[in-house]
Chain A
Amino acid sequence: MIAAIEPVIQAKDLSKVYRMGEVDVHALKDISLHIKRGESVAIMGPSGSGKSTLMNILGCLDRPTSGDYFLEGVEVSGLSDDQLAGIRNQKIGFVFQSFNLLQRTSALANVELPLNYASQPTDGRDRAAEALRAVGLENRMKHRPAELSGGEQQRVAIARALVNEPAILMADEPTGNLDSKAGQEIINLLLKLNQERDATLIIITHDQKVAAQTQRIIQIRDGMLEENQL
């Protein structure tokens, strides 16, 4: 079980520079971090600190300007758009603050979406249904997002993130659009999945209470890691 010993995420000197007109904005400066398989981590920091940029890079939505990023031992910072799409599809599940569900389709079809883009065709219906059962929505499969509560919608989004059995679950402010009760349910669900499925969980949050429930908190400020509680 070499994979279990090796960190899932291994980043070395990640930097991201945006050009805004004449000025270079350093969103990330030489960030190095390791995250182990099955770990739950919260990334915290004030607005503009670079935490979203970090998540985008760790989630393979964006590439670092410099530095190395190994995901399950594979260097991904030099991959093409399509290769990155394949990695997002197979290894990463995203949960967004605003759910990002397709409004005109059922919960089931929403969960099925990542399977449509998988390189190997699968029995999508069954797997999507199973993922919805795992988040406790077995009675809401045919409902459209508009017919679901905020908490339920976020659970559909979690099911969608789960359906390809990714190595990493990434949640960007998953409770930001929810009341505290529904928010806590979502956090409980994420932590449960983290433990049951051995999926690495990364939550980006403002909320100290949310962060406190994870095993480790990574603080980021001005594009640099501030504190790395191990």
Chain B
Amino acid sequence: MNLKRILLETIRSLNSNKLRTSLTMLGIVIGVAAVIAMLAIGQGAQNSITSSINSIGSNILFVSEGSSARFFQGGTNVVRNIRPLTLLDAEALLDASQAPSIKAVAPVIQGSNITAAASGQKTTTTVLGVTSGYASIRNEQLTEGAFFNDQQVNIHARVAIIGPDLATTLFGRTNNLVGSTLRLNGQTFTIIGTLKAKGGTSIGSSDNQVIIPFTTARDRVIYRTGNAVDVIYVQATDANSVSEANTQISQILRMKHHVKLGSEDFSVFSQQDLLSTATSITGILTAFLGGIAAISLLVGGIGIMNIMLVSVVERTREIGLRKAVGARNRDILVQFLSESAFLSLLGGLIGILLGWSISMLIGKIASLLGTTLNPMVSLNAVLLATLFSAAVGLFFGIYPARRAANLQPVEALRYE
């Protein structure tokens, strides 16, 4: 039998019991749709996390106090007597001879649950005390006004840069705010700039924060003794020097803190570290979800096998007749295999469309809820699902088809 005939017979046969055909196909449709949707959402989540990590700035490293050895390198030596990071540490990192790969440094102190009040409105917010280099390192842009300079930091100027979300909460607008007054824990500040929105899910987003000079924050709002800082943002000179910068930071800080290699009381992460951690987490998540979805595809395949077995029994006489008029075992095998393969392939195609729609719908729902998630149906996922569903059809079709093919014509014709 030629291919066209086989296809015609297959369609005719599947068409003759539409309800059964569609129910059988439904198993595959749901399985494939679930796989497609899960992979798309996983990919979308990964993309949005990656882009929010990238939005932190470019070639950034984070230095924070405390050892990372216990958590990340499986080290057992608990570091005692942790020295806090200080402004002096930050300055030391700017030494061009010891740290040629470092372009800029921004020490930051951070205080949360600070009461912010303006024009009769009141809310709590997070305040960052930073130096003038912060804006360029973090790639913060202003929609109006200007960032404070070194001099304003030195004189403990009471000036503030306000995040757009916080501005909306307090003032009901995000423009014409320069010159307005803002009270942080009762201290009066003059707004000198408004930040451009970075988007809701960005890591370390300043949309809902206030940025003020480091000195003012330390002395009047967050109250830190000495020169302690919470985190130092370091920008490497370019993408290739990030790991060198990492080494140089560690060397300098080990010297300043008088600690040996392996017992550091500080930790350095690069954006790359964050990215790879995030990627591996979302990767595991995607694989997990995809795996669960694949189980439903498997169940769908078993459904196909079940129906094909019933169909073989039902059509025993037909098989007998076909053999009587000259069908070889192979002809019968091909006939039943093509039915199950067609079922699962068509189910797979419908499943791809359904999965695509589901992931788009979830993206829409996510954006309505204020989260940026753009599910991505990748070509690979589509190919994988198509191949996999066809394979499921063939695999689960083989057993029933062989049973049909191996029926003895005499027995089959006698079957009632």
Contact = CB atoms under 8 A, between A and B. Distances in A.
Interface in B295-353: 317-318, 320-331
Contact of A61 (B2, B5, B322, B409): B409
Contacts of B331: 117
A100 B412 CA distance: 12
Given A85-B326, A86-B326, A94-B325, A116 B5 contact: yes
A153 interface: no
B225 interface: no
B410 A89 contact: no
Among B13, B322, B328, B331, residue most surrounded by chain A Cβ atoms (within 10 Å): B328
Contacts, number: 61
A81 B329 contact: yes
A118 interface: yes
B328 A62 contact: no
A113 B331 CA distance: 12
B322 A117 contact: yes
A82 B325 CA distance: 12
A62 B408 CA distance: 8
A105 B13 CA distance: 9
Contacts of B324: 59, 61, 88, 94, 100
Among A96, A102, A113, A118, residue most surrounded by chain B Cβ atoms (within 10 Å): A102
B16 interface: yes
B326 A114 contact: yes
A164 B327 CA distance: 14
Contact of A88 (B1, B325, B329): B325
A166 to B, nearest CB: 10
B328 A81 contact: yes
A51 interface: no
Among B1, B326, B329, residue most surrounded by chain A Cβ atoms (within 10 Å): B326
A105 to B, nearest CB: 7
Nearest to B13: A104
A82 B409 contact: no
Contacts of B325: 88-89, 94, 113-114, 117, 160
A56 B327 contact: no
Interface string A68-83: 0000000000000110
A224 B320 CA distance: 27
Contact of B410 (A62, A85, A96, A102): A62
B80 interface: no
Nearest to A105: B12
B409 A89 contact: no
Contacts of B326: 85-86, 88-90, 114, 117-118, 164
B177 interface: no
A114 B326 CA distance: 6
A121 interface: yes
B56 to A, nearest CB: 65
A120 B327 CA distance: 13
A56 B16 contact: no
Contact of B323 (A85, A90, A105): A85
Nearest to B318: A102
B336 to A, nearest CB: 15
A90 B322 CA distance: 13
Interface residues of A, number: 25
Interface in B374-415: 408-410, 413
Nearest to B416: A98
B413 A85 contact: no
Contacts of B318: 102
A89 to B, nearest CB: 2
Contacts of B13: 104
Contacts of B5: 116
Nearest to A87: B326
A118 B1 CA distance: 8
B329 A82 contact: yes
A113 B320 CA distance: 13
A61 B410 CA distance: 6
A116 B334 CA distance: 13
A113 B323 CA distance: 11
Nearest to B315: A102
Contacts of A160: 325
A88 B409 CA distance: 11
A117 B1 contact: yes
A104 B15 CA distance: 10
Given A105-B12, A117-B1, A117-B322, A100 B327 contact: no
A61 B1 contact: no
Given A62-B410, A100-B413, A104-B16, A117 B317 contact: no
A111 B66 CA distance: 86
A100 B330 contact: no
A164 B1 CA distance: 15
Contacts of A90: 326
B322 A82 contact: no
Contacts of A62: 408-410
22 contacts: A56-B410, A61-B323, A61-B409, A61-B410, A61-B413, A62-B409, A81-B328, A81-B329, A82-B328, A85-B328, A88-B324, A88-B325, A100-B321, A100-B413, A102-B321, A113-B322, A113-B325, A114-B325, A116-B1, A116-B5, A118-B326, A160-B325
Interface of A: 56, 59, 61-62, 81-82, 85-86, 88-90, 94, 96, 100, 102, 104-105, 113-114, 116-118, 121, 160, 164
9 nearest interchain CB pairs? A89-B326, A117-B326, A114-B325, A104-B16, A100-B321, A82-B328, A85-B328, A61-B409, A62-B410
Given A62-B410, A100-B320, A164-B326, 6 more contacts: A86-B326, A94-B324, A96-B321, A100-B413, A117-B322, A160-B325
